[in-house]
Amino acid sequence: MSSKSAVLVTGASTGIGAVYAERFAQRGHDLVLVARNTERLTALAQRLRSETGVQVDILTADLTNNDDVAAVEQRLREDTRIGVLINNAGTSIPGDFLSQSSEEIARLIALNVTAVTRLAHAIAPRLAAAGEGAIVNIASVVGLAPEMGLTVYGATKAFVLFLSQGLNVELAARGVYVQAVLPAATRTEIWQHSGKDVDAIPGVMEVDKLVDAALAGFDRREFVTIPPLHDEAQWNALNRRAPDDAARLCAVGTGAALPLPRLKRRYGLFPSPLVATFVSPCIKAVRRYQGETKAPCLTYRADTSPCFCCVRHSTHKRHSDEHHTFHPSLCGAGAGRLSAGLRKRLCCRR
């Protein structure tokens, strides 16, 4: 048995969850794999035991079923070996809001929202008491892009992002790390449920590249990791364009990602559909963080991925040497590098 913390992965039988299981096994972590498909779980567990020598337990569970969720909750509360939760299980449903049935919507929310919240709630008290551990929640860039037409799915993923940010506020001081991972189009089985042809979407990311980028963020303790960002040459090309042209180019779509440490982060120049939609939800979220009367600003640290901080004027001044802000009313650092249009999008409105 490994001396490292065990990792519980939901949705582990295939796709993102299976690759997470493989990567953590390669790092020497024992595993608890959770999914509905016992046959796939068993095959994956046998392979990982053989290849890496770690202990792998399987737990067959349908996380839309209350009794099954309760069983996983109990495992998270009682198994003190488990120090990392990968909240990966999720699904989508086809059609627009008017065509979706109430039963489909309820099942979607049960898996994407309720199960994610309950499992995080089950493990968080034990991790906080121990002063260490990690919770990784798989959200989606769709949660920041309502114009994509995936209304309920996007709403569930927006919830996961907000939940992760709120948990960071509550748990970071207690030694618990919480990461939100926001994939874009990734080649997984979820497309079979969404009714969309994944091969018709440009710039689809392969699962192994997504997980490797997410783990790069995990190792750097990033709060929010967005793997499908373009590389440095594309950022520089956008920066040389006129504002309207840059926005148009951003609307082309996402491309293949490099691991996050190799990316140049220029907040506000995310590929479509994020340019116009990424900022607004985050501004609304940070306003609720600490209930400050002063307008918060969005910041990012040069050595990590974008993080969203609710800060007062005095706090910002104290950290101005290590943060750049795009809120011109608080500080001009970094704001001058953006076009007027992008600055307007990034301004926190009082």
Active site residue ranges: 153
CA distance 255 to 293: 39
Q: 């949705």: which residue's tokens?
A: 11
Q: 């007027």: which residue's tokens?
A: 340
CB 229 within 8 A of CB 41: no
Lateral strand order in the sheet of 306-307: 306-307, 299-301, 323-325
CA distance 73 to 96: 33
What's the Rg (C-alpha) of the chain? Answer: 20
What angle, rounded to 10 degrees, do the helices at 151-171 and 116-130 form?
A: 10
Q: 């650092």: which residue's tokens?
A: 333
Cα dihedral sign, 311-314-318-324: positive
